[in-house]
Amino acid sequence: MTDYAALNPFTATSVGENDLWNAAAFRDVPNINSTPFAALETAVDQVRKRGRSQVRFVRGAGGSGKSHLFSRLHRSCAEGVFYAYAPNPPLQPEALEPFILSRFVSSLRHPARSADGKDAPYSQLRLLAYALLKPVVEQEMSLSGLHEAWADISLESQKELIHQAVQILEAEHPMVPRSVLRCLLNVLREDKQHLAAQWLSGAAYLTENELKFLGVSDPLARAEVGRVIQLFGKLAAQAGAPAVLVLDQLDLISTQPQFDEMQRLLFALIDQSENWVVLIGLVAERFAMWDAALSQALRGRIGSPDANAPLGFRLPVIDMLPIANDQKKLLLTCRLETPDLVALRKKDGTNSAIHPLLEEDITRLTSGGAIFPRHLLAAAAELYDMRAAGKAPAPAAKASVPAPASAAVPPPLKPQPPSIPPPSMPVTAAAKPAAPPPAALTKMPLAEKIDSLLQTAVDGARADSAVPSAIDLGERVRDVIELMVAPPVTTIEGDIRKTYENFDGGDRWFEWGGGKVRIVTSDSMRGSFIAVLERLKEACGDTLLLRHAVAPVSGQLTLELLNDFKAKNIFHHVPASETAFLSALGRILASQREGSYDQLATEPPATKENVLAALRNHPLLRGLRLWEMIQRIHAPKQVKPAANAVAAAVPPASVLSSIARPAGAVVAPPLPAAPASTSVTPAVKFPAAPSLPPKAKVPQPPPAVVSKPNLPPQPPVAKPPPGVQRPPMAKLPPPSQENAA
């Protein structure tokens, strides 16, 4: 049964971002959550017909299927929409717009969907460019036909058509910079499409030669980001398809400045743009915070009048519903019909369509009250592992389906006795300890499960062609620190953005355990990077400057400033391997906050504390070079005193020491934490602690090799016998500026 154990179809209890874009990995039961999905389709149809932007809050508990519903919308409507997925936004309010633009362009670089539900041979971004190019094409043809004809057009003809399209767009959008329109249409050039997409996403790491190749002078300015987002909605309207923007995993949006920036974005998409469908996925407790924080002006634009609602308007909410018993069976059957399982049953000559499960397992799983899909899948995964291992379900409630806290569910069904005795349970002798219950044997270790989830997320991050922004890098560093450091951690925003408006990255101070570290991220080039380095001139050993490996460093002045910075601080070019790991860690933490792992059948249970502990102890994170650098900066600095400063570090045997320590108050100095580089005067010897008995032997520390600085010889001092107070020495004049310690 080991072959079946490796094909457990219930282990994937949530839809990740990789699954959203991978049509082959998506298994769906349209009957589940059909009512919320119909509400989403209605919102898309309204925007397609009227062009006015719409906002919907999708509310549901962790495991209710919000991300699955967003994936279904992508597959169902992708032919007629421009779809963007932007989960886990940054916490800095001013970073929201750059994040939205980056994720929107990154999503549009995924393949478009054809009418038959398959991936088209061109991306969504290229499809948008074809739609904008179509008015200058002399003959009428479909977008797919235009794609086929475009490859046969000569390069000179392509340049001419693009030039004409830019002129038309300039006349229709006079306030939009020509560089934006040029790069938007340059995605149709095979030799420029990658660079053009990077420029449109706000990437600041493009070199001077790359910018010249694109025909633009500078990267996209920070002040233009919001205008470009608005432009995408208007251009999508010209293409005849709504722009669907999914904002998922907003669990960390909780402060009023963050809500204010979200409102400003929504105002812009409603009042200054058009053609947007904004879907906001929230758990119930987070929605309550949004409901209390949004202003009456925004509620009046997106809500419905309701005298009983806050400020007189009810927000448009789509609630996720638990699944009933008949839907449970549909979900189990869908998962058990995966191609690999069907092929293995056929190879083994098994007639049962649910093997290795039994009918009694299906009855057990589909009985009881309504539950959320993830809870059912977690229970099914545990039963499947037991059957694949040749064991019967444990006679306890462990294998029964847990009920969500927000749903009224009757007590769990009592487990039924197995129909046949488990053949794999050996009879043990009385002298031997009792074997653990079968359920415990089948539970996967939590560390192993987290490792599997993390590796999958890393593979997905590596497959993503888009480079995360410097803002994303700063957010992921925050995740690492908050995960690895014992609370409390104080986070304070730096001042680079206050003095430099076009700053492209993050600037934060992190304080914990009596130390602090400043993390600055920036991928900007030339003058912009010089401006960042000039603002870091005063950094003295407490700053870590991070930069993606794709962003080179060039220019004589830039290198000089960077070398000056590295003389006192640390600079790290983050390689692609670390970037992929940091992105994967961010996805895992966001899924954990959403409750995606609460129902995993693991040992120990996948509670929040246990999941974070497993991540904290993962070897990839413990050995992350970035984390080592953070610890190095945060650690207390070991300053080696100079030879002439030894007297200030260790008080000499003189009247000054008796003044500082009156008679009867002599205390032995603490041992240094590091190997001592300061010399202790041999004449100074402190008596044993008075609390010890007279004959007690006090263990002495091993003699340390002490380096003696070149000090002038001191006069010999007679050592008094033990227990006798040292006689007073000749008084010296008060210390002056020359001999002060």
- What is the CB-side half-sphere exposure of residue 430 using CA atoms within 13 A? 0
Rounded to whole angstroms, the Cα distance separating 697 from 710 reads 35
Which segment of 290-304, 384-398, 420-434 scores lowest on mean pLDDT?
A: 420-434
| Residue 398, domain member (yes or no) | yes
pLDDT at 324: 92
Question: What range defines the domain where residue 130 resides?
Answer: 120-224
Q: Name the range with the highest mean pLDDT among 164-178, 315-329, 427-441, 631-645.
A: 315-329
Give the H/E segment covering residue 546: strand 543-548
- Phi then psi for residue 389, to 5 deg, are -90, 0
Residue 27 confidence (pLDDT) above 90:
no
| Mean of all residue pLDDT scores within the chain | 81
Same domain, 516 and 620: yes
| Pair (135, 88) in one structural domain | no
For residue 3, the number of C-alpha atoms closer than 13 Å in the C-beta half-sphere is 10
713 is a domain residue: no
Same domain, 478 and 577: yes
Both 569 and 492 in one domain: the answer is yes
Q: Which among 618, 634, 650 is the end of a domain?
A: 634
Pick the more confident residue, 558 or 648. Answer: 558
639: pLDDT strictly greater than 60: no
Q: Are residues 422 and 362 in the same domain?
A: yes
| pLDDT at 3 (0 to 100) | 86
Assign 492 a pLDDT band (cuts: 50, 70, 90).
very high
- List, in order, residues 6 or more apart from 153 with CB less than 8 Å away: 161
Please report how the helices 178-186 and 155-172 are oriented relative to each other, as an axis angle in degrees rounded to 10: 140
The gap from C-alpha 404 to its chain's centroid, in whole angstroms, comes to: 26
Contact 403, 412 (CB under 8 A): yes
* Residue where one domain finishes, among candidates 198, 224, 250: 224
Inter-CA distances, 570 with 79, 159, 310, 639, Å: 48, 46, 50, 18
Percent of the chain with pLDDT over 70: 78
Tokens 């392509």 identify what position? Answer: 158
- What's CA 96's distance to the chain center, in Å? 15
| pLDDT for residue 391 | 79
Whether 533 is covered by a domain: the verdict is yes
The answer to the question of residue 230 being in a domain is no
- Average pLDDT (407-411) is 38
Residues 560 and 420 in one domain: no
Between 467 and 649, residue with greater pLDDT: 467
Q: Count of domains in the chain?
A: 4
**Residue 672 domain flag:** no
Are residues 475 and 598 both part of a single domain? Answer: yes
Residue 21's alpha-carbon distances to 73, 119, 270, 460, 687, in angstroms, are 12, 10, 27, 10, 75
Residues 59 and 139 in one domain: no
Exposed / middle / buried, residue 615 (Cβ in 10 Å: 0-12, 13-18, 19+): buried
Q: ∠ at Cα 260 (254, 265), nearest 5°?
A: 115
pLDDT value for 595: 83
Asked, for residue 148, whether it belongs to a domain, the answer is yes
Please state, in angstroms and rounded to a whole number, the distance separating the CA atoms of residues 66 and 68.
5
pLDDT at 411 over 70: no
Question: What value does the mean pLDDT take over residues 725-734?
Answer: 48
State the pairing for strand pair 111-113/119-123. Answer: antiparallel
Q: What is the mean pLDDT of residues 448-468?
A: 88
Q: Give the whole-angstrom CA distance, residue 580 versus residue 557.
A: 31
Please list the alpha-helical segments (H only) found in 396-445: 438-442
> Helix, strand, coil: what percent of the chain each, to 5?
45, 10, 45
Residue 556, pLDDT score = 94
**For residues 543 and 518, is the Cβ–Cβ distance under 8 A?**
yes
Whether 616 shows a pLDDT value over 90: the answer reads: yes
Q: What is the arithmetic mean of pLDDT over 256-269?
A: 95
Residue 364 pLDDT exceeds 60? yes
Residues in the chain: 741
Give pLDDT, residue 79: 73
The per-residue pLDDT for 721 is 52
Query: In this structure, are 72 and 99 located in the same domain?
Result: yes
Q: Which of 610, 634, 658 lies at the terminal end of a domain, its last residue?
A: 634
Name the maximum alpha-carbon separation found in the chain: 112
> Do 497 and 551 have their domain in common?
yes
- Asked if residue 693 is part of any domain, the answer here is no
The pair phi, psi for residue 72, each rounded to 5°, is -65, -40
pLDDT at residue 80, as a whole number: 85
Give yes or no for a contact between 101 and 203, defined as CB atoms under 8 angstroms apart.
no
Candidate from 118-122, 428-432, 615-619, 691-695 with smallest mean pLDDT: 428-432
- Average pLDDT (603-622) is 94
**Sign of torsion over alpha carbons 284, 288, 294, 300:** positive
Strands (DSSP E) found in 161-296 = 243-248, 276-282
Say if CB 290 and CB 303 are below 8 A apart: no
Give 546-596 pLDDT, tens digit per residue. 999 999 999 999 999 999 999 999 999 999 999 999 999 999 999 898 888
Give pLDDT tens digits for 107-136: 999 998 877 777 888 999 999 999 888 888
Give the span between the Cα atoms of 135 and 107, in whole angstroms.
Answer: 25
For residue 285, which amino acid is it? E
Is the residue at 717 inside a domain? no
> Are 246 and 179 contained in the same domain?
no
Average pLDDT over residues 235-251: 92
Q: Do 427 and 475 have their domain in common?
A: no
